[in-house]
Amino acid sequence: MIPIEYYLWLSAVLFSIGVLGVLYRRNAIIIFMCIELMLNAVNLVMVAFSNYLNDAAGQIFVFFIMAVAAAEVAVGLAILIMTYRNTKSTDINILNRLKW
Amino acid sequence: MTLNLFYFLSFLAVLSALMVVFSKNPVYSVLYLIITFFAIAGHYVLMKAEFLAVVHLIVYAGAIMVLFLYVIMLLNLNKETEPHKNNILKFAATICSGLLLIVLIGSLKGTELLGKGHISPNSTIGNVKNLGKVLFTDFLLPFEIASILLLAAMVGVVMLAKSEKKININE
């Protein structure tokens, strides 16, 4: 019998590690991976509440989040390859031309 | 027994998630992220969501991580000489995410329904039969829209990653 708040805390920790990675690193691929980590933290808490409330809708939402994450990763990595072709780097500090 | 398994899987997930952020080589980051995904799949099995556990392993560890590894190998990034932020920005990032963690845990401790809730160990809503029934009755329209999304993503990826210059094979 696992209390549901344990899953909430674990998910909060994983989400914070994802935010830490986005703020900490400069490599765009690592930033993508940390976004995946945040999506998975949210998925975890959705499955926990789906089990707790005995409602299958939460697990269906997780299924759709996985589909959207797959599409997002494919498009994001394509953009990354395109920027690498132009700048020869995946450093996000090069891509600062949109800054005010 | 299940509680010990929960602690083990949580420890594994948090440790390898930290190693994703702090390891120097991007290939090692991808491999640690795969360990994190396996631990999360173990959590899904603990919560009796077997279908989602299998789909999670196939989609994340099988497809998305292979895509990441492929891009890293393609861009030849598997070296440890990438530029890092300076120490003040790293310190600020750590403080910001720590504050976010404190805010999340503080707001979760204030809610009342969480004290009594438990994960039920013999729930049957996570099996394939039940999920398929719900997916194809209540969520039929979002299911079809997801297929359109995947098609649009595929077309967009091919358009984006297509080389603009003509490649000369003989060179």
pLDDT tens-digit readout, B67-124: 999 888 888 776 656 666 688 888 999 999 999 999 998 888 877 666 567 777 777 8
Mark yes or no for CB contact B96/A17 under 8 Å: no
The residue that leads in pLDDT, B38 or B2, is B38
pLDDT of residue B73: 87
pLDDT of residue B165: 63
Which residue segment(s) compose the domain that A41 sits in? 4-87
A59-63, A72-76, B106-110, B164-168: which has the minimum mean pLDDT? B164-168
Q: Is pLDDT above 80 for A18?
A: yes
For chain A, what is the total number of helices (H) and then of strands (E)? Answer: 3, 0
Q: How high is the mean pLDDT of chain B?
A: 86
Q: Is pLDDT above 70 for B168?
A: no
Q: How confident is the model at residue A1 (pLDDT cuts 50, 70, 90)?
A: confident
Q: Considering only residues 54 to 83 of chain A, which have any Cβ-Cβ distance to chain B shorter than 8 Å?
A: 54-57, 59-60, 62-64, 66-75, 77-82
pLDDT of residue B167: 54
> Does A23 reside within a domain?
yes
Mark yes or no for CB contact B97/A78 under 8 Å: no
> Does A20 reside within a domain?
yes
> Does A53 reside within a domain?
yes
> Does A93 reside within a domain?
no
Q: Quickly count: other Cβ atoms within 10 Å of residue A68's Cβ.
A: 14
SS3 A28: helix
> Does A99 reside within a domain?
no
Q: Each residue of B16-28: b (16+ CB within 10 Å) or e?
A: bbbbbbebeebee
Q: Each residue of B116-148: b (16+ CB within 10 Å) or e?
A: ebebbeebebbeeeebeebbeeebeeeeeebee
The residue that leads in pLDDT, B82 or A60, is A60
Counted domains in chain A: 1
pLDDT of residue B74: 85
> Does A35 reside within a domain?
yes
d(CA B64, CA B17): 16
Note the ipTM here: 0.91
The residue that leads in pLDDT, B54 or A88, is B54
CATH number for the domain including A10?
A: 1.10.287.3510
